Amino acid sequence: MKSAAQNFRLSAALRFAAATALGAVALVSASAHAGTVSTEPEESTVNSIPAPKPSWFFVQRGFVLPGTAIYDSATGKYVAQIETPTLGDLAIDPAGKYYYSAETHWTRRIHGTRQDYISVYDSTTLKFEGDIDIPGRILVGGREHNFIVSDDGKTGYVYNFSPVSSVNIVDFAKRKFVKSFELPGCADLILNPGVGLAALCSDGSLAAINLTGGKVDITRTDPFFSATTDPIFDNVQYDKAKGQVVMMSYTGLIYTAKLGAKPTVGTPFSVQEAAGLRKAEAKPLDLNWYPGGGQAIALHRASGHLFVLMHPGEYWTHKDGATEIWDVDLAAHKVVKRLTVEGHPTVLNVTQEASPKLVVVGEGQGGGAGAGFDGAAQVIDPATGEVKHTIKDAGSGLVQLAN
């Protein structure tokens, strides 16, 4: 009889022989098919995407991750990414042909010669088309009104704060910087049809900036809000068709202003009173519902409905995420719907389709909060409150639309 050791050695030998035989068969098979393998070099191609659609939304990744991701609210699917840098500002050509990115870099990454410019990308191939040098720009990311484009797409306006508050004017047709002008004490650029621009000012007024002549002419309304007692959220909403801007204060006062050479500001109303509640106040420990977030309001222009991120709390909680979204009929001065929302979103926008969709983004939890690591986007039906799509790790910055 064979010992256990001999049996083991025999079994190992048989396994080795079988493996060798299989390897030989594989080599023969590979040799037989070698003649059919293509030796032609691969050809590099570039996919294209459509021009921006009304259902698309653009999410800045955050303060750490560069790039602006494009998603389709109709499907919840990722479309592409525009290579915008951290603290860059994206503007979208109204005709849908180009994406513009206002950027700042240093020749030696974090030191050296500072370079400010606008990068131009084709909207269908995302191919870099060139850049336009500008004298400077303010380094504050995640703001809607630091870089805007005229309604005809021919002119860009870049807010600057080096060394004083000013605006750079860029000719997109010729792709060159035109001029700068000082804008003392004002910021938050708004298009002002037939005139040029408007801007919010620290004295509580609204400036009209006339660019139609050779000289820049700036006039201001009387102060209508207090920048220290009850400031206005900077994501004011512009409505070209009505020629007006909609604004909201930290306590929930809703203002509308008719734009023009001499803007007029209407009497505000309280969003809390519009919901049948007590008006909020700008004093400590006054518990109420307050608006909050980095992008707290969004206007559906065709219907005249303003959507607001709301949370229970007290005054000066204007950065807190929402537990509800309030649907305000601006003409009726009435909150017509209150939608519960999960994830404490701080960013809100609404598509301008006939059947609009709300897009909200929450900053997430933990070390990635606010940095783009853990932001989740939700697409919500404002008619029912149903969450149509949830997109994890979408980003945590500004949400923009093509229109």
Nearest of 190, 192, 235, 183 to residue 212 by alpha carbon: 192
* Residue 72, C-beta contacts closer than 8 angstroms, at least 6 positions apart: 53, 55, 56, 79
234 in Cβ contact with 200 (< 8 Å): yes
Q: Are 24 and 16 in contact (CB under 8 A)?
A: no
* HSE-CB of 263 using CA atoms within 13 angstroms: 36
What is the Cα–Cα distance from 111 to 325, expressed in whole angstroms? 43
What pLDDT does residue 396 have?
Answer: 82
pLDDT over threshold 70, residue 24: no
- The DSSP-derived string for 297-360 is EEEETTTTEEEEEEEEE-TT-TTPPPSEEEEEETTTTEEEEEEE-SS-EEEEEE--SSS--EEE
pLDDT at site 37: 67
Q: Which residue has the higher pLDDT, 166 or 31?
A: 166
Radius of gyration over alpha carbons of the chain, in Å?
A: 28
The confidence band for 66, taking pLDDT boundaries of 50, 70 and 90, is: confident
Question: Is 187 exposed, middle or buried, given 0-12, 13-18 or 19+ CB atoms closer than 10 A?
Answer: buried
Position with higher pLDDT, 33 vs 175 = 175
DSSP states of 200-232: EETTS-EEEEE-SSSS-EEEEPPP-S-TTTS-B
DSSP 8-state assignment for residue 24: H
- Give 86's pLDDT tier (boundaries 50, 70, 90): confident
Query: If phi over 0 gives left and psi between -120 and 50 gives alpha, with beta otherwise, what is residue 365?
Result: beta
Least confident of 59-68, 71-80, 350-359, 393-402: 59-68
Residues 208 and 257 sit within 8 Å (Cβ to Cβ):
no
Contact partners, residue 114, CB within 8 Å, separation at least 6: 104, 105, 106, 136
Q: What does pTM read for this prediction?
A: 0.88
What is the mean pLDDT of the segment spanning 180-209?
Answer: 97
Confidence check: pLDDT of 23 > 70? no
228 φ/ψ sector (left φ>0, alpha ψ -120 to 50, else beta): alpha
Cβ neighbour number for residue 318 with a 10 Å cutoff: 18
Write down the pLDDT at residue 26. Answer: 40
pLDDT in tens, 328-370: 999 999 999 999 999 999 999 999 999 999 999 986 543 334 4
| 2-6, 153-157, 258-262, 398-402: the lowest-pLDDT one | 2-6
Q: What is the mean pLDDT of residues 5-12?
A: 42
**Calpha distance 329→345 (Å, rounded):** 22
**Structure token digits, residue 29:** 């098979």
CA proximity to 140, closest of 82, 89, 183, 91: 89
Provide the pLDDT confidence category of residue 372 given band limits of 50, 70 and 90.
very low
DSSP summary character for residue 260: S
* Distance from C-alpha of 137 to C-alpha of 90, rounded to nearest angstrom: 13
Residue 57 falls in which region: left (phi positive, over 0), alpha (psi -120 to 50) or beta: beta
What pLDDT is attached to residue 75? 97
Question: Helix %, strand %, coil % for the chain, to 5?
Answer: 10, 40, 50
For the segment 247-259, the average pLDDT, to the nearest whole number, is 98
Band (241; pLDDT cuts 50, 70, 90)? very high
What is the pLDDT, as a whole number, of residue 45?
Answer: 84
Residue from 345, 346, 356, 347 nearest 403 by CA:
356
**Which of 84, 85, 119, 117 lies closest to 100 in space, CA to CA?**
119
pLDDT computed for residue 36 by the predictor: 65
pLDDT confidence of residue 374:
58
> Residues of the chain with pLDDT > 70: what percent?
87
Q: Determine the average pLDDT of the residues in 125-131.
A: 96
Which of the residue ranges 14-23, 30-39, 287-296 would you say has the lowest mean pLDDT? 14-23
Quick one: average pLDDT of 257-285? 97
Mean pLDDT of the chain: 89
Mean of pLDDT values over 288-315: 97
Residue 30 has pLDDT above 60, yes or no: no
User: What's the rounded mean pLDDT across residues 229-249?
Assistant: 96
**CB of 293 within 8 A of CB of 309?**
yes
pLDDT at position 314, please?
96
Residue 6 has pLDDT above 50, yes or no: no
Q: What is the mean pLDDT of residues 380-392?
A: 96
3-state secondary structure of 164: coil
Rounded to 5 degrees, φ, ψ at 171 are: -90, 110
The closest alpha carbon to 54, from 74, 69, 68, 83, belongs to 74
Percent of the chain with pLDDT over 90: 76
